[in-house]
Amino acid sequence: MSELFGGVLAAGAVREAVADPAWLAAMLDVEAALARASDAPTDIAEEISGACRAARFDIAELGAAAAGAGNPVIPLVRALRAGVSPAAAAYVHKGATSQDILDSATMLVAHRALGPLLDDLAGAADAAARLAEVHRDTPVAARTLLQQALPTTFGLVAAGWLTALDQAADRLAQVRAHRLAAQLGGAAGTLAALTPSTVGRLARELGLAEPLLPWHTDRTRVADLAGALGTAAGAVGKAARDIVLYSQTEVGEVSEGRPGGSSAMPHKRNPVAAVSASACAAQAPGLVATLLGAMAQEHQRAAGGWHAEWRPLRTLLVSTGSAAYWLRESLTNLDIHAAKMRANLDLSGDALIAERVAAALSSSLGPDAAHDKVRSVLASGQPLADAFPEVDPSLLDLTTYTGHAGSLVDTALRHHSSRERP
C-alpha cells in the first residue's frame, strides 16, 4: 500500500484488513484450522495452533523466499515446521497443497474485510435515507443528458442512491455468506492424502462455506466476489458523481460540510469526499476485468492465472472499501441548498412543464400537434399561460409536477427500514 496516496485511495478500515499482516494471520489461521480438522492428536493440533502466531514470522523474509518458491505458503510452512516438535511437524500442512492454504486465506481475508466495507455501505445508505426523508418533497430539476428535463424531488434522488447501495450490499452479503468457501483438495484436487470429511471440518473451523468440490481452477468464487465488489463500487460511484455535479459553482444545489481546499485558490471549497469516492470507484472495473480474465486456468493447477489474482483482488477490496468510506463521509456531512434548487428550476421557465401542458392539449389537438405547438411557443419565448389560456393555471406550477416522487420515496424508505441488515 502506498503511504503517499493511501490517505485518499486507501481510506477506511478495509486497508488494514487486507494488508500483509492480515494475509499472514489468515494463512496461519488456515494452517492451525487444518491441524485441528485433520487426524492429528489433540496435543499435536494444539502445539501447531500455538505456533501459528504471526509475531513469530518475518513478512519480508517470507516475501523474499516466495520469489524462489512461487508463493509465500512454501516458506511459511517450512518455517512453521521448524518451530514445532518433530512429531508435530509431521502434521503441519498434512495432505494440503500451497493453493489450499492461500485460497482459504484469501476467502478468510475477504470475509473479514467485507465486515467494515458493508458497515460503510450501510452508513452511506442510512445517510441517504435521512436525506430522502427530509427532502421527500423538495423540488429539484431532474436532468437527462445533463440538461434540465422535468421537476423531481431531491428526496427521490437520494432514494435512488439508497436503493442502489442497499442492493449492492445485499449482493455482497450473499457472496460473503455462500460463496466464500474453504479450499482443500491436496496436490491435484483429489483429496488423495485426506478424508473428504476434513473439508467440512476445515470450513467450520474457519467460518467459511463448505465447497462441493475442490475449486483450484474453478475461479467462479473469485469472479462472484469481484463482480459484487465491482457492483458496489459502481453504486458508490454513481452517487459520488451526482454529488460532484450538484456541487458545481453554477449549480450549487449541495455542498459538503467538510470541503477541501486548493493549494492555489483560497476560495475553493471542493467536494473532496465525493471526488475521492469517485476516484476509488473508478478503479474497480479494470480490476474486475483482470480477475475475470484470469479465470481460464490450465487443467488442475494454473500456470500464472492464479498468481495474477492476488494483487488485483486485494486492490479491488481496498478501492471498493475506500469508495464506500468516502461516500459515507460525503453523505453524512452533505448540506442541501433547497433555495438554490428552486432557483435553478426557474431558470428553464415554462420548459419543465411543457410535457404537462402538451398532455392537457392533446385531447383537443392530438398528441403530435400538441407537442409541436408547445415546442413552437417555447421557442418563441411566449409564456405558456398566454399562449394557452384554456389550460388550467394549476397545471403551470412546476413544483406540483413531480409525479409519484413522494410515494416512491416512501417505498424506498420502508424497504430500507425493514430489510435484514448484512
Any idea which residues carry the catalytic annotation?
262, 301
Report the alpha-carbon distance of residue 326 to residue 275 in Å, rounded: 9
| Element holding 142 (H helix, E strand) | strand 139-144
- Cβ-in-10-Å burial (0-12, 13-18, 19+) of 274 comes to buried
Give residue 348's identity as a one-letter amino acid code.
Answer: S
Report the alpha-carbon distance of residue 196 to residue 216 in Å, rounded: 16
Residues 67-90 as b or e (16 or more Cβ within 10 Å = b)? eeeebbbbbbbebbbebbeeebbe
CA atoms within 13 A on the CB side of 281: 24
Q: For residues 364 and 272, is the Cβ–Cβ distance under 8 A?
A: no
Report the alpha-carbon distance of residue 150 to residue 417 in Å, rounded: 29
Report the alpha-carbon distance of residue 281 to residue 189 in Å, rounded: 36
The closest of 223, 229, 211 to 171, measured between CA atoms, is 229
Q: For residues 304 and 276, is the Cβ–Cβ distance under 8 A?
A: no
| CA of residue 160 relative to chain centroid, distance | 16
